Amino acid sequence: MWLVYLKELTELLRDKKTLFFIIALPLLIFPVIFGAMGLVVANVALEEQQKVLKYAITNNNQVPEFSEALFYHRDFELVELALSGDESKRDAVMSGMVDVVIDIPNVHSEHIDNYTQVQWRLFYNDASQLNLVKQKIEKVFEPYVSEIQGELRAAQQLDDALFNFLTAPIKLVVENTADEREDIGEKVGGLLPYLLIVLCMTGAMYPAIDLGAGEKERGTLETLLLTPISRFAIVLGKFFTIMTTGVVTALITVASLLLWGYLIGEVAGVNVVSKVFTTVGVSDLLLILLMLVPVSAIFAAILLAISIYARSFKEAQNYMGPISIVGFLPVMVAMLPGIKLNWTWALVPISNVALAIKEIVKGTVNYDMLAVILLSTIVFAVISIVFCTRWFNKESVLFR
């Protein structure tokens, strides 16, 4: 078995494609991609921030101070439009004539004078993720409202305490009980299992195709099957090679991300990576690594079984797409808000490890539960290997 393992590893390490996927991609390409993405997002945000909003306003004679403040504000540009019904206001936004319509009722002054609440409406497209329309308008709106409140206080001769009570009778003050580690764990801990587990799978994908369907296509698998070594030993040799590449890819990628994160953090003055390092101990990192081993085993066995079923390299590549979704889903589920590690989730393969890694990073892990997770994942990995070996013994699979 180790003979097959060493040979497969030697061959993989001499393959430029494998080296690219396992070492070059995580070390260089990912930081470049993330950097480029960050740059694009930052540019879009800056653009949105600096964008001058074209607006139309109804009944501006009711709010002369507000209208004037808006008119002279550098973020806004008035567009004169004759707007009657709601339909025309929506059309003005949808056609792109304006970014926003501020609809002020013609009874605004009357309501204010009678101390009754008045309702303004904003018509704008709120579908975009980066939409600063409301925030920008609030910058002008809030001082205007404060002014009205101030006038009311003066007119009614209210003292500060009563005025504060009227505007906010109850104030909620949050006292965060989470320590720094839990806080970081909650923020980073969700991303870490996603990265690690998904990388364990993607890192194993190319070697799995090469060692199964690739060997079949090149005719070397048949030669291997004719040697006295048992098929179980062949499966194990290939399986351990794929598993190794999966774990190594995940580790190199995380190391690369931490390194780049640290370097960028040093330059930009952000110390998230240093904080993670100081709060999560070495034993916890080893525990995370331990959790990844059976997960990689599950992926390696499943990917190898699929690869060996495929007639060719191309066919195997076609199968890998849907399989990736099967791998991603349990991790995604674990990232959903409200999903917490409990005894039921501890038995769900892959999701349990994702949740456990999050708990380890947060420092709130239950070690009994961790043992169950490890055990259940190992059981699932063994089942996957048995399935893979059985498939490897089927003539209808090997000689399709």
Partner 1 sequence: MIEVKDICKTFQLSKEALKNSKKNVLDVRQDGREFHALRGVSFSCAQGEVLGLLGPNGAGKTTILRILASALKPTSGDITIAGESVITKPEISKQKIGFLSGKTGLYNRLTARENIEYFARLHGMSKQRIRDVGEQLYAQLGIEPYLERRVETLSTGMTQKVSIARAVIHQPEVIIFDEPTTGLDIMATEVILEFIDAQKEQGVSVIFSTHHLDEVGMLADKVTVINDGTTRFSGTLSQFTSQSNESDLRKAFKHFLSSDEVAVCG
**Closer to partner 1 by Cβ: residue 169 or 228:** 228
**Closer to partner 1 by Cβ: residue 224 or 333:** 224
Query: What residues contact 201, with CB distance under 8 A and at least 6 apart?
Result: 246, 299, 303, 324, 327
**Closer to partner 1 by Cβ: residue 106 or 220:** 220
95 token code pair: 């056609």
- CB 8 → partner 1: shortest distance, Å? 9
- CB 226 → partner 1: shortest distance, Å? 5
- Residue of 350, 364, 196 lying closest to 288 (CA atoms): 196
317-340 as b/e: b if 16+ CB within 10 A: eebbeebeeebbebbeebbeeeee
**Closer to partner 1 by Cβ: residue 14 or 171:** 14
**Closer to partner 1 by Cβ: residue 51 or 311:** 311
**Closer to partner 1 by Cβ: residue 156 or 223:** 223
> What count of residues does the chain have?
400
> What secondary structure letter does DSSP report for 104?
-
Q: What angle do CA 312, 18, 321 make, to 5 degrees?
A: 50
Q: What angle do CA 206, 211, 213 make, to 5 degrees?
A: 85
Q: What is the CA radius of gyration of the chain?
A: 30
* Binding region for partner 1 (CB under 8 A): 3-4, 7, 10-11, 14-15, 218-220, 222-230, 395-396, 399-400
- CB 255 → partner 1: shortest distance, Å? 26
The residue whose two tokens read 């909620």 is: 172
- CB 399 → partner 1: shortest distance, Å? 7
| Helix, strand, coil fractions of the chain, as percent rounded to 5 | 75, 5, 25
Q: Count H helices and E strands in the chain, helices first.
A: 19, 4
- CB 325 → partner 1: shortest distance, Å? 24
Q: Which helix (H) or strand (E) holds 78?
A: strand 76-78
**Closer to partner 1 by Cβ: residue 223 or 278:** 223
Query: What residues contact 284, with CB distance under 8 A and at least 6 apart?
Result: 360, 361, 363
- CB 216 → partner 1: shortest distance, Å? 11
- CB 288 → partner 1: shortest distance, Å? 33
**Closer to partner 1 by Cβ: residue 51 or 400:** 400
- CB 223 → partner 1: shortest distance, Å? 3
